[in-house]
Structure 1
Protein backbone atom coordinates (compact mmCIF):
# COMPACT_ATOMS: atom_id res chain seq x y z
CA UNK A 1 0.00 0.00 0.00
CA UNK A 2 1.21 3.45 -0.89
CA UNK A 3 0.30 6.65 0.88
CA UNK A 4 0.08 9.82 -1.24
CA UNK A 5 0.19 13.23 0.43
CA UNK A 6 -0.57 16.43 -1.47
CA UNK A 7 -1.61 18.77 1.37
CA UNK A 8 1.90 20.15 1.34
CA UNK A 9 4.80 19.13 -0.90
CA UNK A 10 4.08 15.91 -2.78
CA UNK A 11 5.03 12.89 -0.69
CA UNK A 12 4.82 9.18 -1.43
CA UNK A 13 5.30 6.74 1.41
CA UNK A 14 5.71 2.98 1.36
CA UNK A 15 5.78 0.50 4.21
CA UNK A 16 9.55 0.96 4.23
CA UNK A 17 9.45 4.77 4.36
CA UNK A 18 9.35 7.77 2.03
CA UNK A 19 9.87 7.42 -1.72
CA UNK A 20 9.84 9.78 -4.67
CA UNK A 21 9.61 10.11 -8.43
CA UNK A 22 12.43 11.66 -10.40
CA UNK A 23 12.07 14.94 -12.24
CA UNK A 24 9.56 17.76 -12.45
CA UNK A 25 7.63 16.20 -15.34
CA UNK A 26 7.10 12.95 -13.44
CA UNK A 27 6.07 14.87 -10.35
CA UNK A 28 3.61 16.96 -12.38
CA UNK A 29 2.18 13.79 -13.92
CA UNK A 30 1.61 12.23 -10.49
CA UNK A 31 0.08 15.41 -9.11
CA UNK A 32 -2.25 15.81 -12.10
CA UNK A 33 -3.51 12.26 -11.70
CA UNK A 34 -3.89 12.56 -7.94
CA UNK A 35 -6.07 15.69 -7.99
CA UNK A 36 -8.65 13.78 -10.04
CA UNK A 37 -9.06 11.45 -7.00
CA UNK A 38 -9.40 8.30 -9.09
CA UNK A 39 -11.16 9.77 -12.14
CA UNK A 40 -9.55 9.58 -15.61
CA UNK A 41 -7.64 12.61 -16.91
CA UNK A 42 -7.42 13.14 -20.65
CA UNK A 43 -4.09 12.94 -22.42
CA UNK A 44 -4.53 16.50 -23.67
CA UNK A 45 -5.05 17.80 -20.12
CA UNK A 46 -2.00 15.90 -18.86
CA UNK A 47 0.17 17.15 -21.70
CA UNK A 48 -0.89 20.75 -21.12
CA UNK A 49 -0.20 20.36 -17.41
CA UNK A 50 3.26 18.92 -18.02
CA UNK A 51 4.49 21.05 -20.93
CA UNK A 52 2.20 24.08 -21.03
CA UNK A 53 2.46 25.81 -24.41
CA UNK A 54 5.63 23.85 -25.23
CA UNK A 55 3.94 20.53 -25.88
CA UNK A 56 6.29 18.36 -28.00
CA UNK A 57 5.31 17.49 -31.57
CA UNK A 58 5.08 13.83 -30.63
CA UNK A 59 2.83 14.61 -27.68
CA UNK A 60 1.11 11.22 -27.49
CA UNK A 61 4.39 9.28 -27.61
CA UNK A 62 6.08 11.59 -25.11
CA UNK A 63 3.18 11.30 -22.69
CA UNK A 64 3.03 7.52 -23.08
CA UNK A 65 6.74 7.32 -22.33
CA UNK A 66 6.27 9.26 -19.10
CA UNK A 67 3.25 7.14 -18.12
CA UNK A 68 5.26 3.95 -18.71
CA UNK A 69 8.11 5.34 -16.63
CA UNK A 70 5.69 6.17 -13.81
CA UNK A 71 4.16 2.68 -13.97
CA UNK A 72 7.61 1.13 -13.61
CA UNK A 73 8.44 3.35 -10.65
CA UNK A 74 5.21 2.54 -8.85
CA UNK A 75 5.74 -1.18 -9.49
CA UNK A 76 9.17 -0.85 -7.87
CA UNK A 77 7.52 0.66 -4.82
CA UNK A 78 4.79 -2.03 -4.69
CA UNK A 79 6.31 -5.22 -6.13
CA UNK A 80 3.53 -7.39 -4.65
CA UNK A 81 0.67 -5.42 -6.18
CA UNK A 82 -0.91 -7.55 -8.94
CA UNK A 83 -2.47 -4.72 -10.97
CA UNK A 84 -0.92 -1.57 -12.34
CA UNK A 85 -1.56 1.68 -10.48
CA UNK A 86 -1.85 3.72 -13.67
CA UNK A 87 -4.51 2.48 -16.06
CA UNK A 88 -5.72 3.72 -19.43
CA UNK A 89 -9.38 4.39 -20.22
CA UNK A 90 -11.22 5.86 -23.21
CA UNK A 91 -11.42 9.12 -21.26
CA UNK A 92 -7.71 9.16 -20.44
CA UNK A 93 -5.34 7.94 -17.74
CA UNK A 94 -6.28 7.07 -14.18
CA UNK A 95 -4.18 6.58 -11.06
CA UNK A 96 -5.86 3.99 -8.85
CA UNK A 97 -5.99 5.28 -5.26
CA UNK A 98 -7.62 3.21 -2.55
CA UNK A 99 -9.36 4.32 0.61
CA UNK A 100 -6.91 5.79 3.10
CA UNK A 101 -4.19 6.27 0.46
CA UNK A 102 -4.67 9.98 -0.34
CA UNK A 103 -4.57 12.61 2.40
CA UNK A 104 -6.77 15.07 0.48
CA UNK A 105 -9.55 12.50 0.17
CA UNK A 106 -9.31 11.71 3.88
CA UNK A 107 -9.40 15.42 4.66
CA UNK A 108 -12.57 16.08 2.65
CA UNK A 109 -14.23 12.97 4.10
CA UNK A 110 -13.54 14.14 7.66
CA UNK A 111 -14.86 17.63 6.94
CA UNK A 112 -18.08 16.22 5.48
CA UNK A 113 -18.55 14.05 8.57
CA UNK A 114 -18.11 17.12 10.76
CA UNK A 115 -20.56 19.10 8.62
CA UNK A 116 -23.19 16.40 9.11
CA UNK A 117 -22.70 16.28 12.89
CA UNK A 118 -25.61 17.57 14.99
CA UNK A 119 -25.11 21.00 16.64
CA UNK A 120 -25.23 19.25 20.00
CA UNK A 121 -22.23 17.10 19.00
CA UNK A 122 -19.76 19.99 18.87
CA UNK A 123 -17.07 17.98 20.67
CA UNK A 124 -16.99 15.36 17.92
CA UNK A 125 -17.06 17.98 15.20
CA UNK A 126 -14.19 19.90 16.78
CA UNK A 127 -12.13 16.71 17.09
CA UNK A 128 -12.78 15.61 13.49
CA UNK A 129 -11.92 19.03 12.13
CA UNK A 130 -8.83 19.39 14.29
CA UNK A 131 -7.52 16.03 13.05
CA UNK A 132 -8.37 16.93 9.44
CA UNK A 133 -6.63 20.31 9.58
CA UNK A 134 -3.56 18.66 11.14
CA UNK A 135 -3.04 16.81 7.83
CA UNK A 136 -1.94 20.05 6.19
CA UNK A 137 1.84 20.57 5.98
CA UNK A 138 1.77 23.69 3.79
CA UNK A 139 0.30 24.84 0.44
CA UNK A 140 -1.05 22.09 -1.82
CA UNK A 141 1.92 20.45 -3.58
CA UNK A 142 4.16 22.83 -1.66
CA UNK A 143 3.14 25.52 -4.15
CA UNK A 144 4.50 23.50 -7.11
CA UNK A 145 1.43 23.80 -9.36
CA UNK A 146 2.74 24.23 -12.87
CA UNK A 147 -0.53 24.00 -14.81
CA UNK A 148 -4.17 25.00 -14.64
CA UNK A 149 -5.42 21.60 -13.47
CA UNK A 150 -3.25 21.59 -10.35
CA UNK A 151 -3.73 25.31 -9.74
CA UNK A 152 -7.51 24.92 -9.71
CA UNK A 153 -7.25 21.88 -7.46
CA UNK A 154 -4.97 23.79 -5.10
CA UNK A 155 -7.48 26.64 -4.90
CA UNK A 156 -10.33 24.17 -4.35
CA UNK A 157 -8.58 22.37 -1.50
CA UNK A 158 -7.49 25.67 0.04
CA UNK A 159 -11.06 26.95 0.03
CA UNK A 160 -12.16 23.71 1.68
CA UNK A 161 -9.47 24.19 4.31
CA UNK A 162 -10.85 27.67 5.06
CA UNK A 163 -14.31 26.14 5.40
CA UNK A 164 -12.94 23.52 7.79
CA UNK A 165 -11.32 26.22 9.90
CA UNK A 166 -14.59 28.15 10.10
CA UNK A 167 -16.48 25.02 11.13
CA UNK A 168 -13.91 24.17 13.79
CA UNK A 169 -14.01 27.70 15.22
CA UNK A 170 -17.82 27.46 15.31
CA UNK A 171 -17.63 24.15 17.16
CA UNK A 172 -15.10 25.48 19.67
CA UNK A 173 -17.25 28.57 20.29
CA UNK A 174 -20.26 26.33 20.92
CA UNK A 175 -18.15 24.48 23.48
CA UNK A 176 -17.43 27.75 25.30
CA UNK A 177 -13.72 28.04 24.58
CA UNK A 178 -13.29 31.61 23.30
CA UNK A 179 -10.06 32.46 25.15
CA UNK A 180 -8.19 29.46 23.75
CA UNK A 181 -9.24 30.42 20.21
CA UNK A 182 -8.17 34.05 20.21
CA UNK A 183 -4.63 33.54 18.95
CA UNK A 184 -5.77 31.24 16.13
CA UNK A 185 -8.62 33.56 15.17
CA UNK A 186 -6.29 36.55 15.09
CA UNK A 187 -3.94 34.59 12.82
CA UNK A 188 -6.77 33.45 10.54
CA UNK A 189 -8.24 36.94 10.30
CA UNK A 190 -4.83 38.51 9.65
CA UNK A 191 -3.97 35.93 7.01
CA UNK A 192 -7.34 36.25 5.25
CA UNK A 193 -8.42 39.82 6.07
CA UNK A 194 -11.31 39.91 3.58
CA UNK A 195 -12.91 36.68 4.78
CA UNK A 196 -15.81 37.99 6.81
CA UNK A 197 -16.60 34.78 8.69
CA UNK A 198 -13.21 34.84 10.42
CA UNK A 199 -13.91 38.45 11.37
CA UNK A 200 -17.32 37.52 12.83
CA UNK A 201 -15.83 34.66 14.84
CA UNK A 202 -13.00 36.83 16.16
CA UNK A 203 -15.49 39.50 17.24
CA UNK A 204 -17.63 36.92 19.05
CA UNK A 205 -14.61 35.38 20.80
CA UNK A 206 -13.37 38.81 21.91
CA UNK A 207 -16.81 39.74 23.23
CA UNK A 208 -17.08 36.47 25.15
CA UNK A 209 -13.63 37.09 26.59
CA UNK A 210 -14.87 40.43 27.99
CA UNK A 211 -13.22 42.57 25.32
CA UNK A 212 -16.18 44.37 23.78
CA UNK A 213 -14.17 47.44 22.72
CA UNK A 214 -11.62 45.26 20.91
CA UNK A 215 -14.42 43.38 19.15
CA UNK A 216 -15.95 46.62 17.88
CA UNK A 217 -12.53 47.88 16.80
CA UNK A 218 -12.09 44.73 14.69
CA UNK A 219 -15.43 45.52 13.00
CA UNK A 220 -14.46 49.14 12.30
CA UNK A 221 -11.17 48.11 10.72
CA UNK A 222 -12.93 45.45 8.65
CA UNK A 223 -15.48 47.98 7.41
CA UNK A 224 -12.70 50.34 6.30
CA UNK A 225 -10.84 47.52 4.57
CA UNK A 226 -13.90 46.34 2.65
CA UNK A 227 -14.59 49.90 1.54
CA UNK A 228 -10.98 50.59 0.55
CA UNK A 229 -10.30 47.26 -1.19
CA UNK A 230 -13.65 46.30 -2.68
CA UNK A 231 -15.85 49.36 -2.38
CA UNK A 232 -18.53 47.43 -0.48
CA UNK A 233 -20.13 47.48 2.96
CA UNK A 234 -19.97 44.65 5.50
CA UNK A 235 -22.38 41.77 4.90
CA UNK A 236 -25.67 41.55 6.83
CA UNK A 237 -24.18 38.69 8.89
CA UNK A 238 -21.20 40.79 9.98
CA UNK A 239 -23.38 43.81 10.76
CA UNK A 240 -25.65 41.52 12.77
CA UNK A 241 -22.72 40.55 14.98
CA UNK A 242 -21.79 44.22 15.48
CA UNK A 243 -25.39 45.07 16.38
CA UNK A 244 -25.53 42.14 18.82
CA UNK A 245 -22.34 43.31 20.54
CA UNK A 246 -23.63 46.87 20.85
CA UNK A 247 -26.94 45.66 22.31
CA UNK A 248 -25.40 42.89 24.46
CA UNK A 249 -27.58 40.31 22.73
CA UNK A 250 -27.78 37.21 25.01
CA UNK A 251 -27.40 35.01 21.92
CA UNK A 252 -23.72 36.01 21.79
CA UNK A 253 -23.07 33.84 24.83
CA UNK A 254 -25.49 31.11 23.81
CA UNK A 255 -27.02 29.91 20.55
CA UNK A 256 -25.55 32.15 17.84
CA UNK A 257 -28.28 31.08 15.43
CA UNK A 258 -30.65 33.27 17.46
CA UNK A 259 -28.87 36.53 16.70
CA UNK A 260 -31.47 39.12 15.85
CA UNK A 261 -31.44 40.71 12.35
CA UNK A 262 -30.14 44.27 12.14
Structure 2
Protein backbone atom coordinates (compact mmCIF):
# COMPACT_ATOMS: atom_id res chain seq x y z
CA UNK A 1 0.00 0.00 0.00
CA UNK A 2 1.20 3.48 -0.88
CA UNK A 3 0.32 6.82 0.66
CA UNK A 4 0.54 10.10 -1.20
CA UNK A 5 1.12 13.46 0.48
CA UNK A 6 0.93 16.91 -1.12
CA UNK A 7 0.20 19.09 1.93
CA UNK A 8 3.83 20.09 1.74
CA UNK A 9 6.36 18.82 -0.80
CA UNK A 10 5.22 15.75 -2.76
CA UNK A 11 5.87 12.55 -0.83
CA UNK A 12 5.11 8.94 -1.68
CA UNK A 13 5.47 6.60 1.27
CA UNK A 14 5.96 2.87 0.82
CA UNK A 15 6.18 0.06 3.36
CA UNK A 16 9.94 0.59 3.53
CA UNK A 17 10.24 4.38 3.35
CA UNK A 18 9.85 7.25 0.91
CA UNK A 19 10.04 6.92 -2.87
CA UNK A 20 11.70 9.51 -5.07
CA UNK A 21 9.96 10.89 -8.17
CA UNK A 22 12.68 12.27 -10.39
CA UNK A 23 12.18 14.96 -13.00
CA UNK A 24 9.86 17.96 -13.05
CA UNK A 25 7.62 16.48 -15.74
CA UNK A 26 7.06 13.29 -13.77
CA UNK A 27 6.31 15.25 -10.60
CA UNK A 28 3.93 17.50 -12.50
CA UNK A 29 2.19 14.47 -13.98
CA UNK A 30 1.60 12.64 -10.72
CA UNK A 31 0.62 15.81 -8.87
CA UNK A 32 -2.00 16.59 -11.52
CA UNK A 33 -3.37 13.06 -11.36
CA UNK A 34 -3.45 13.23 -7.55
CA UNK A 35 -5.42 16.48 -7.32
CA UNK A 36 -7.97 15.02 -9.74
CA UNK A 37 -8.79 12.71 -6.79
CA UNK A 38 -9.67 9.63 -8.80
CA UNK A 39 -11.41 11.41 -11.66
CA UNK A 40 -10.10 10.93 -15.22
CA UNK A 41 -8.24 13.86 -16.73
CA UNK A 42 -7.87 14.34 -20.47
CA UNK A 43 -4.61 13.91 -22.29
CA UNK A 44 -4.90 17.48 -23.61
CA UNK A 45 -5.16 18.83 -20.06
CA UNK A 46 -2.18 16.79 -18.94
CA UNK A 47 -0.08 18.02 -21.86
CA UNK A 48 -0.93 21.65 -21.10
CA UNK A 49 -0.24 21.14 -17.40
CA UNK A 50 3.12 19.48 -17.99
CA UNK A 51 4.54 21.55 -20.85
CA UNK A 52 2.54 24.77 -20.86
CA UNK A 53 3.39 26.76 -23.98
CA UNK A 54 6.40 24.55 -24.75
CA UNK A 55 4.42 21.62 -26.12
CA UNK A 56 6.75 19.03 -27.69
CA UNK A 57 6.44 17.60 -31.18
CA UNK A 58 4.32 14.44 -31.21
CA UNK A 59 2.80 15.44 -27.91
CA UNK A 60 0.65 12.30 -27.65
CA UNK A 61 3.75 10.13 -27.87
CA UNK A 62 5.58 12.28 -25.34
CA UNK A 63 2.71 12.07 -22.88
CA UNK A 64 2.38 8.33 -23.35
CA UNK A 65 6.08 7.90 -22.67
CA UNK A 66 5.69 9.73 -19.36
CA UNK A 67 2.56 7.76 -18.47
CA UNK A 68 4.45 4.51 -19.11
CA UNK A 69 7.37 5.71 -17.01
CA UNK A 70 5.06 6.59 -14.13
CA UNK A 71 3.33 3.22 -14.38
CA UNK A 72 6.68 1.44 -14.17
CA UNK A 73 7.69 3.51 -11.18
CA UNK A 74 4.48 2.82 -9.27
CA UNK A 75 4.64 -0.86 -10.23
CA UNK A 76 8.14 -1.07 -8.76
CA UNK A 77 6.78 0.29 -5.50
CA UNK A 78 3.90 -2.25 -5.44
CA UNK A 79 5.23 -5.32 -7.27
CA UNK A 80 2.39 -7.52 -6.02
CA UNK A 81 -0.31 -5.24 -7.43
CA UNK A 82 -1.99 -6.99 -10.38
CA UNK A 83 -3.47 -3.89 -12.04
CA UNK A 84 -1.70 -0.61 -12.70
CA UNK A 85 -2.83 2.35 -10.65
CA UNK A 86 -2.73 4.53 -13.77
CA UNK A 87 -5.49 3.55 -16.17
CA UNK A 88 -6.88 5.03 -19.37
CA UNK A 89 -10.57 5.79 -19.86
CA UNK A 90 -12.61 7.36 -22.66
CA UNK A 91 -12.34 10.71 -20.87
CA UNK A 92 -8.63 10.46 -20.06
CA UNK A 93 -6.14 9.09 -17.56
CA UNK A 94 -6.95 8.17 -13.98
CA UNK A 95 -4.84 7.44 -10.91
CA UNK A 96 -6.51 5.01 -8.52
CA UNK A 97 -6.33 6.23 -4.95
CA UNK A 98 -7.90 4.23 -2.14
CA UNK A 99 -9.44 5.68 1.00
CA UNK A 100 -6.83 6.79 3.48
CA UNK A 101 -4.01 6.97 0.92
CA UNK A 102 -4.13 10.68 0.00
CA UNK A 103 -3.57 13.32 2.67
CA UNK A 104 -5.43 16.14 0.89
CA UNK A 105 -8.54 14.01 0.42
CA UNK A 106 -8.46 12.93 4.06
CA UNK A 107 -8.03 16.54 5.13
CA UNK A 108 -10.97 17.89 3.14
CA UNK A 109 -13.13 14.98 4.36
CA UNK A 110 -12.37 15.96 7.96
CA UNK A 111 -13.30 19.60 7.29
CA UNK A 112 -16.62 18.54 5.76
CA UNK A 113 -17.30 16.31 8.76
CA UNK A 114 -16.63 19.21 11.10
CA UNK A 115 -18.94 21.50 9.12
CA UNK A 116 -21.69 18.87 9.19
CA UNK A 117 -21.31 18.40 12.96
CA UNK A 118 -21.95 22.09 13.59
CA UNK A 119 -21.63 23.33 17.15
CA UNK A 120 -22.97 20.20 18.83
CA UNK A 121 -19.63 18.53 19.63
CA UNK A 122 -16.99 21.17 20.25
CA UNK A 123 -14.52 18.72 21.80
CA UNK A 124 -14.86 16.27 18.93
CA UNK A 125 -14.51 19.04 16.35
CA UNK A 126 -11.40 20.46 18.03
CA UNK A 127 -9.77 17.02 18.15
CA UNK A 128 -10.76 16.10 14.58
CA UNK A 129 -9.46 19.33 13.10
CA UNK A 130 -6.33 19.34 15.25
CA UNK A 131 -5.38 15.98 13.73
CA UNK A 132 -6.34 17.16 10.23
CA UNK A 133 -4.30 20.36 10.43
CA UNK A 134 -1.30 18.37 11.65
CA UNK A 135 -1.17 16.77 8.17
CA UNK A 136 0.16 20.05 6.77
CA UNK A 137 3.97 20.16 6.41
CA UNK A 138 4.14 23.39 4.41
CA UNK A 139 2.64 24.91 1.23
CA UNK A 140 0.84 22.49 -1.08
CA UNK A 141 3.47 20.81 -3.31
CA UNK A 142 6.21 22.68 -1.43
CA UNK A 143 8.21 24.82 -3.84
CA UNK A 144 6.85 23.08 -6.97
CA UNK A 145 3.29 24.36 -7.57
CA UNK A 146 3.08 23.06 -11.15
CA UNK A 147 0.69 24.32 -13.81
CA UNK A 148 -2.77 25.84 -13.76
CA UNK A 149 -4.65 22.75 -12.56
CA UNK A 150 -2.25 22.24 -9.66
CA UNK A 151 -2.24 25.92 -8.78
CA UNK A 152 -6.04 25.96 -8.63
CA UNK A 153 -5.88 22.88 -6.41
CA UNK A 154 -3.39 24.68 -4.16
CA UNK A 155 -5.87 27.52 -3.71
CA UNK A 156 -8.73 25.08 -3.05
CA UNK A 157 -6.86 23.13 -0.39
CA UNK A 158 -5.57 26.33 1.20
CA UNK A 159 -9.13 27.62 1.51
CA UNK A 160 -10.10 24.36 3.22
CA UNK A 161 -7.16 24.91 5.58
CA UNK A 162 -8.41 28.40 6.48
CA UNK A 163 -11.88 27.00 7.08
CA UNK A 164 -10.46 24.23 9.26
CA UNK A 165 -8.57 26.77 11.34
CA UNK A 166 -11.69 28.89 11.78
CA UNK A 167 -13.78 25.91 12.85
CA UNK A 168 -11.11 24.64 15.23
CA UNK A 169 -10.68 28.06 16.86
CA UNK A 170 -14.46 28.30 17.18
CA UNK A 171 -14.60 24.92 18.90
CA UNK A 172 -11.71 25.76 21.23
CA UNK A 173 -13.39 29.04 22.22
CA UNK A 174 -16.59 27.18 22.98
CA UNK A 175 -14.58 24.91 25.26
CA UNK A 176 -13.21 27.93 27.14
CA UNK A 177 -9.66 27.54 25.81
CA UNK A 178 -9.29 31.21 24.88
CA UNK A 179 -6.00 31.72 26.74
CA UNK A 180 -4.43 28.64 25.17
CA UNK A 181 -5.48 29.80 21.69
CA UNK A 182 -4.20 33.38 21.91
CA UNK A 183 -0.79 32.74 20.34
CA UNK A 184 -2.26 30.74 17.45
CA UNK A 185 -4.98 33.33 16.88
CA UNK A 186 -2.41 36.15 16.84
CA UNK A 187 -0.39 34.22 14.26
CA UNK A 188 -3.42 33.40 12.10
CA UNK A 189 -4.60 37.03 12.17
CA UNK A 190 -1.10 38.34 11.36
CA UNK A 191 -0.63 35.90 8.48
CA UNK A 192 -4.11 36.53 7.04
CA UNK A 193 -4.88 40.15 7.96
CA UNK A 194 -7.89 40.45 5.64
CA UNK A 195 -9.68 37.36 6.97
CA UNK A 196 -12.23 38.86 9.32
CA UNK A 197 -13.19 35.64 11.08
CA UNK A 198 -9.71 35.32 12.59
CA UNK A 199 -9.98 38.91 13.76
CA UNK A 200 -13.37 38.26 15.41
CA UNK A 201 -12.05 35.17 17.18
CA UNK A 202 -8.90 36.95 18.38
CA UNK A 203 -11.00 39.81 19.76
CA UNK A 204 -13.22 37.38 21.67
CA UNK A 205 -10.21 35.50 23.05
CA UNK A 206 -8.54 38.74 24.18
CA UNK A 207 -11.73 40.00 25.81
CA UNK A 208 -12.20 36.73 27.69
CA UNK A 209 -8.59 36.97 28.84
CA UNK A 210 -9.29 40.33 30.47
CA UNK A 211 -7.73 42.37 27.68
CA UNK A 212 -10.61 44.53 26.45
CA UNK A 213 -8.35 47.39 25.32
CA UNK A 214 -6.21 45.04 23.25
CA UNK A 215 -9.33 43.52 21.67
CA UNK A 216 -10.56 46.96 20.63
CA UNK A 217 -7.12 47.91 19.31
CA UNK A 218 -7.18 44.80 17.11
CA UNK A 219 -10.54 45.92 15.73
CA UNK A 220 -9.33 49.46 15.01
CA UNK A 221 -6.24 48.17 13.23
CA UNK A 222 -8.40 45.81 11.19
CA UNK A 223 -10.77 48.62 10.25
CA UNK A 224 -7.85 50.76 9.03
CA UNK A 225 -6.38 47.83 7.12
CA UNK A 226 -9.66 47.04 5.35
CA UNK A 227 -10.07 50.70 4.43
CA UNK A 228 -6.51 51.11 3.16
CA UNK A 229 -6.26 47.80 1.28
CA UNK A 230 -9.79 47.26 -0.02
CA UNK A 231 -11.62 50.53 0.54
CA UNK A 232 -14.36 48.81 2.56
CA UNK A 233 -15.73 48.89 6.09
CA UNK A 234 -15.68 45.93 8.51
CA UNK A 235 -18.44 43.39 8.03
CA UNK A 236 -21.59 43.49 10.20
CA UNK A 237 -20.33 40.41 12.06
CA UNK A 238 -17.04 42.09 12.98
CA UNK A 239 -18.79 45.31 14.01
CA UNK A 240 -21.15 43.22 16.13
CA UNK A 241 -18.22 41.79 18.08
CA UNK A 242 -16.84 45.28 18.66
CA UNK A 243 -20.22 46.50 19.94
CA UNK A 244 -20.54 43.45 22.17
CA UNK A 245 -17.13 44.14 23.72
CA UNK A 246 -18.00 47.77 24.35
CA UNK A 247 -21.30 46.70 25.94
CA UNK A 248 -19.75 43.82 27.94
CA UNK A 249 -22.28 41.49 26.33
CA UNK A 250 -22.64 38.30 28.44
CA UNK A 251 -22.52 36.24 25.24
CA UNK A 252 -18.81 37.00 24.99
CA UNK A 253 -18.04 35.09 28.17
CA UNK A 254 -19.75 31.93 26.94
CA UNK A 255 -23.04 32.33 28.76
CA UNK A 256 -24.77 32.64 25.37
CA UNK A 257 -23.69 31.38 21.97
CA UNK A 258 -24.86 34.01 19.54
CA UNK A 259 -21.35 35.40 18.95
CA UNK A 260 -19.83 31.97 18.49
CA UNK A 261 -22.03 30.58 15.77
CA UNK A 262 -19.93 29.12 12.94
CA UNK A 263 -19.78 31.46 9.94
TM-score range, shorter chain: over 0.9
Alignment of 1:88-167 (within 5 A): 88-167=88-167
Shift of residue 57 of structure 1?
2.0
Shift of residue 136 of structure 1?
0.2
Q: What per-residue deviation string (whole Å, max 9, x for no partner) do you get for residues 202-241 of structure 1?
A: 0000000000000000000000000000000000000000
SS of corresponding position for 2:142: helix
2:118 & 2:198 partners in 1: Cα distance?
A: 22
1:50 aligned partner: 50
2:240 aligned partner: 240
Shift of residue 258 of structure 1?
5.5
Alignment of 1:18-33 (within 5 A): 18-33=18-33
1:32 & 1:117 partners in 2: Cα distance?
A: 31
If the length of structure 1 is used for normalisation, what is the TM-score? 0.97
Q: Which moved more, 1:163-172 or 1:47-56?
A: 47-56
Number of residue pairs aligned between Structure 1 and Structure 2: 259
TM-align CA RMSD:
1.0
1:199 & 1:31 partners in 2: Cα distance?
A: 34
SS of corresponding position for 1:222: helix
2:215 aligned partner: 215
User: Could you list the runs of 5+ residues in structure 2 that have no partner in the other structure?
Assistant: none
Shift of residue 256 of structure 1?
3.3
Contact 2:49-2:148 at 8 Å conserved across structures: yes
Q: Which moved more, 1:112-121 or 1:244-253?
A: 112-121
Q: What per-residue deviation string (whole Å, max 9, x for no partner) do you get for residues 119-172 of structure 1?
A: 231000000000000000000000311210000000000000000000000000
1:118 & 1:228 partners in 2: Cα distance?
A: 34
User: Could you list the runs of 5+ residues in structure 1 that have no partner in the other structure?
Assistant: none
Alignment of 1:163-242 (within 5 A): 163-242=163-242
2:74 aligned partner: 74
1:10 aligned partner: 10
If the length of structure 2 is used for normalisation, what is the TM-score? 0.97
SS of corresponding position for 1:141: coil
1:256 correspondence with 2:252: no
Gap change, CA 1:120 and 1:146, over 3 Å in 2: closer
SS of corresponding position for 2:141: helix
Shift of residue 110 of structure 1?
1.2
